[in-house]
Amino acid sequence: MKRATVNGALAVGFFALAIGVLFARANPATAYEASVYAATPGGVWVAFALALSLAVATTLGCRGRFQTLGMALGALTVTSIVSLPVLRNYRFSGMGDALTHLGWTRDIVGGELLPHELIYPGVHSLGIALHFLGGIPLERALLVTVVVLFLPFLIFVPLIVRDVTGTPAAVGFAAIVSWMVLPVNNVATHMGIHSNSNALFLVPVVVFAFVAYLGRRSTIERLPFGLSPFSVLIYLTAIVLLVVHPQQMINVVVLAGAIAGVQLLAHRRLDDHPVLEQPTMYAQTVVLGSMFTVWTMANERFRTAFVNMIEGVFIEDVGAGAEVDQRGASLAEIGGSLAELFVVMFLDAAIIGIVAGLFVLAVWLGRTSLDREAASFVTYFGIGLIPLGVIFLVYFVGTPTMAFRQVGFIYVLLTILAGIALAHLFGGLSGVITRPGATTVAAVFVGALLVLGLATVYASPLIYSPGQHVTDQKFSGYESGFEHGVDDRPHAGLGYDPYRYDHGLHGLEGEETLSGATVATGEVDPEAFEAGNYSGAYHGIDYYLVVTEYDVTREVDVYQELHYSEESLAGLQGEPTADKVISNDEFEMYAIASDE
């Protein structure tokens, strides 16, 4: 490809990206959006698609400076897609854990909670720093935090592959696979304010420190106590990961232990191998494990979660099998299927996982051209997947949500391996057809997977999960409802417990919260509600019923009235026991009198 052509393509790509960002910024959200994809103007997606197409082409077809610029273009475009809630001026995003994290952040700012009292204060602390330094609201600061913590994933995945293989093709493929954002599965890992998911994007930084340590054999520049700069790098990056979320830290400890185990076996069984020349990971494994143990065992929240997970393993009908059956039945009732949902959500991940797995097997069988040094790193990651997979199985039986969090970590490693695997796959194809032909096939292949990956970065009706956009009206409605409601009257929602909004608005520590006032919250009974028994739909007592635009979209449009129908919602208007006390475009609250 001619230099002038490449320069022109990159110029067009960066210009398209800039236009897309400006167009998104010029069209902010004005109401609740069930899908950030559908609500974002089509011109933005045309611009982003053009930028990504040119990024893929230059990343695969060029080398040197032009390849680096192509990877930068792709990374910036994907970051822009991840930044859409910020670019389009969302007040907040996330109605579950995200609101609780917002509440903890408010508690820290208000002095009611110290950062170290949380087991994972990293996200909250960074959000507070952005809040004070940038002079922006806490809600927006946390949205920006999501983007800041995402960036290391796009940067360090190709850096790891460069250090492992040194081949530009593998680096390019690794960059493109990282753009697919495979660790996000929208089951238990999400692109939002979710510290466990946010920690996943920092894992490549620690893995890069591992690779840097193992690949440098020089003993110069030793620090006190026999430490090397690369050992210090491992410890510092691990500490950052630990304070963002310990669950991903224990996975890193397992990976370090697997590497140490391979080294121990190699030193006992082999006489000549690159592993024998690499510094050992024994001390690092012990230190990282000690960090995790000291930090977590002192925290009651972690101990409780660990006990619940162990109990879940032994309780009948608790596990992923029962949950999958239940969700499969619900999907069938609204005309969907698990097979359809799997294709949309996991086809790209499944293909990448198969490619990476077969490549690891080929390396172990000696069927690749990978040199022995690079093959040792593939072995480290491949062996590391075995205990990580065992942990997944334990979670799968006991706590399904944790199982899919584990899948998120596994896909960090598979993303790295896939970059090397795809380079070998299409490198071999270039021996069968021409190199330009192989590059074209590769671009179409990874481009299709890239579309699938980016289409599910955020929740949307496409995966039967409407977006969790929180508008000003919704916050205002909940704030008024909590402030002016009768103290001892509970708040109930349609399939959603309102207590999370109490967390987001008031924090978790203050006495003015619902928790502090011991006021109950919950969900109305769908059977009673559908029967028109609004008074008896919540334990037969007086209560406040909250109905938001999100609830209506989820229950009527997405779930197709599976639990609550449009007719039953409309029946509230003429119900003598239901008094509408708060109403705006996004929020309605009814005071429901019991029939007693």
- Bridge partner list, 491: 521, 544
Q: Which amino acid is at 458?
A: Y
pLDDT at 518: 41
Neighbours of 433 (CB within 10 A): 12
At residue 385, does pLDDT exceed 70? yes
Digit-coded pLDDT (tens) for 517-574:
445 688 999 999 999 999 999 988 999 999 999 999 999 999 999 899 999 999 999 9
Cα 480 off chain centre by: 32
For residue 303, name the pLDDT band (cuts at 50, 70, 90). Answer: low
* Crossing angle for the helix pair 168-179 and 42-61, to the nearest 10 degrees: 160
End-to-end CA distance of the chain: 80
DSSP, res 193: S
Per the CB < 8 A criterion, the answer to whether 60 and 439 are in contact is yes
Provide the pairing of β-strand 469-470 with 521-523: unpaired
pLDDT at 258: 98
Question: DSSP letter string over 257-269?
Answer: HHHHHHHHHHHHH
Digit-coded pLDDT (tens) for 238-255:
999 999 999 999 999 999
Report which of 451, 593, 535 is spatially closest to residue 37, judged by C-alpha positions. Answer: 451
For residue 515, name the pLDDT band (cuts at 50, 70, 90). Answer: very low
Digit-coded pLDDT (tens) for 142-184:
999 999 999 999 999 999 999 999 899 999 999 999 999 999 9
Q: With pLDDT > 70 as the criterion, what percentage of the chain qualifies? A: 91
User: CB within 8 A of 439, min separation 6: which ones?
Assistant: 60, 61, 426, 430
